[in-house]
């Protein structure tokens, strides 16, 4: 398999804290890769450097053969790399559908120009966008909630909405930061099904930070273990489970 994403020696500090301290890993195309590690290991910070919301101090990040570590988040997203957040980013005073429509707005100015100069094209574009939004909502089982205020959704439903939001950007790599946190058990099963279906039907690659190890071991083809800003080990779920360093550094503490 070829690597879709390569992270090579990435360092990111905050003042004196080396949040990510020389992390190296690769994510195979069409894989589901789990990223685990104790709190403070640097997982979310690493996600931010990959998605372009934080610049690494040093190291390289290559996506689909292109270096992305010096590009801002919106350009990284345009190349096909998007992330969800540990706390789902949902605009509570907007409808569920509008949450998806605003996600696709690139430049308000750009849109206004089209609207004035080519009103028919603008309308056609809006209709296509709405249809795509309904499609993503159906995919995550939220289509019946399209007109509800996003604020009325449960924690788990907000996670699903956040997933639908990033799908609007037609990504090839989706980074999910603790998708199961705060999600009721019944919805967890559903969320996993959606992730597996998105990989199967759209070929989307996933890199997933998750504390729920059962979920990681069931969903992931390979698992990367981080500790203190570095990658401790990587392998299949079975290999990682049997690795003594992992058991000492992480699993031992958690169980």
Q: Using CB under 6 A as the criterion, which residues of the chain lie in contact with ligand ADP when the complex forms?
A: 14, 17, 19, 37, 39-45
Q: Where are the beta strands (DSSP E) in the chain?
A: 3-14, 17-28, 32-36, 58-63, 66-67, 81-83, 173-177, 205-209, 222-227, 230-235
Q: Which does 40 bind (CB under 5 to 8 A by kind): ligand ADP, Mg ion, none?
A: ligand ADP
Burial class (CB in 10 A: 0-12, 13-18, 19+), 204: buried
* Residue number with CB closer to ligand ADP (14 or 189): 14
User: Please, what is the minimum distance in Å from the beta carbon of residue 2 to ligand ADP?
Assistant: 27
Q: What is the DSSP letter of 189?
A: H
Report the alpha-carbon distance of residue 71 to residue 232 in Å, rounded.
Answer: 27
User: Please, what is the minimum distance in Å from the beta carbon of residue 48 to Mg ion?
Assistant: 10
Burial class (CB in 10 A: 0-12, 13-18, 19+), 52: buried
* Residue number with CB closer to ligand ADP (68 or 225): 225
DSSP string for 135-185: HHHHHTT-GGGTTSBGGGS-HHHHHHHHHHHHHTT--SEEEEESTTTT--H
% helix, strand, coil for the chain, step of 5: 45, 25, 30
User: Please, what is the minimum distance in Å from the beta carbon of residue 209 to ligand ADP?
Assistant: 7
* Residue number with CB closer to ligand ADP (63 or 85): 85
Report the alpha-carbon distance of residue 24 to residue 104 in Å, rounded.
Answer: 32
User: What sign does the dihedral 158-52-108-164 (CA atoms) show?
Assistant: negative
* Residue number with CB closer to ligand ADP (133 or 226): 226
**# chain residues binding Mg ion, by CB under 5 A:** 2
Q: Which does 14 bind (CB under 5 to 8 A by kind): ligand ADP, Mg ion, none?
A: ligand ADP
148 HSE (CA, 13 A, CB side):
14
* Residue number with CB closer to Mg ion (141 or 182): 182
User: Please, what is the minimum distance in Å from the beta carbon of residue 65 to ligand ADP?
Assistant: 27
Contact flag: residue 222 with Mg ion (CB under 5 A): no
Q: Map the footprint of Mg ion across residues 5-64, applying CB under 5 A.
A: 43-44
User: Please, what is the minimum distance in Å from the beta carbon of residue 44 to ligand ADP?
Assistant: 3
User: Please, what is the minimum distance in Å from the beta carbon of residue 35 to Mg ion?
Assistant: 10
* Residue number with CB closer to ligand ADP (13 or 114): 13
Q: Which does 110 bind (CB under 5 to 8 A by kind): ligand ADP, Mg ion, none?
A: none
Interface residue list for Mg ion (CB under 5 A): 43-44
């Amino acid at each position: 398999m070829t690597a879709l994403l390569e992270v090579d020696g990435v360092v990111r500090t905050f003042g004196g804290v080396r949040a990510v301290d020389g992390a190296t890993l690769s994510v195979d195309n069409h894989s589901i890769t789990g990223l685990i590690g104790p709190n403070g290991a640097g997982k979310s910070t690493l996600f931010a450097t990959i998605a372009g919301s934080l610049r690494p101090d040093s190291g390289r990040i290559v996506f689909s053969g292109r270096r992305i570590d010096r590009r801002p988040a919106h350009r990284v997203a345009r190349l096909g790399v998007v992330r969800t957040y540990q706390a789902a980013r949902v605009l509570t005073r907007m409808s569920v559908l509008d949450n998806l429509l605003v996600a696709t707005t690139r430049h308000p100015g750009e849109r206004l120009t089209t609207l004035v100069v080519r009103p028919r094209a603008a309308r056609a574009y809006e209709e296509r966008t709405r249809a795509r939004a309904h499609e993503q909502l159906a995919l995550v089982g939220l289509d019946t909630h399209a007109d509800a205020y996003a604020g009325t959704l449960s924690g788990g439903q907000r996670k699903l909405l956040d997933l639908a939001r990033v799908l609007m950007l037609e990504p090839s790599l989706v980074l999910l930061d603790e998708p199961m946190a705060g999600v009721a058990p019944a919805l967890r099963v559903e969320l996993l099904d959606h992730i597996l279906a998105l990989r199967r039907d759209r070929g989307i690659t996933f890199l997933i930070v998750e504390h729920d190890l059962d979920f990681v071991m069931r969903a992931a083809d390979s698992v990367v273990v981080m500790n203190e800003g570095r990658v401790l080990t990587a392998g299949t779920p079975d290999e990682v489970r049997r690795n003594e360093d992992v058991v000492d550094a992480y699993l031992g503490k958690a169980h």
